[in-house]
Amino acid sequence: MSGSTRSSDGLDERRRRILFRARHRGMREMDLILGGFADAEIDSLSDADLAAFEDLLEPEDQKVFSWVSGTEPTPPEFDTPLFARIRAFHFSGRGLPG
């Protein structure tokens, strides 16, 4: 993801892996949404949040994008407090490159 501001220095292996995967999705919009959120929040995520984030990295980008944008309903298994934080972060504009 271009425009990344967060270094992976000092992160444990699990957080480094999640940060990398969030920034390198294959769909630019998802690089910005998930990568931007990870840049800003990776340090503060609990183990449960990390597990939910890992689960969210599995579906196809187009599907996740449709859930984040609200064009399709979010499946119950992904409708988590973490997903709500990601959506709020996206709609706040905080993850947009400057």
Which domain covers residue 26, as residue numbers?
13-92
Work out the widest C-alpha separation in the chain, in whole angstroms: 37
User: Is the residue at 18 inside a domain?
Assistant: yes
Domains of the chain: total: 1
Record the tokens describing residue 83, joined without a space: 């997903």
User: Is the residue at 6 inside a domain?
Assistant: no
Digit-coded pLDDT (tens) for 47-94: 999 999 999 999 999 999 999 999 999 999 999 999 999 999 999 987
Residue 3 has pLDDT above 70, yes or no: no
Q: Which amino acid is at 27?
A: M
pTM of the predicted structure, to 2 decimals: 0.87
User: Is the residue at 59 inside a domain?
Assistant: yes
- Answer for the pair 86, 37: CB distance below 8 angstroms, yes or no: yes
User: Is the residue at 63 inside a domain?
Assistant: yes
User: Is the residue at 29 inside a domain?
Assistant: yes
CATH code of the domain in which 50 resides: 1.10.150.250
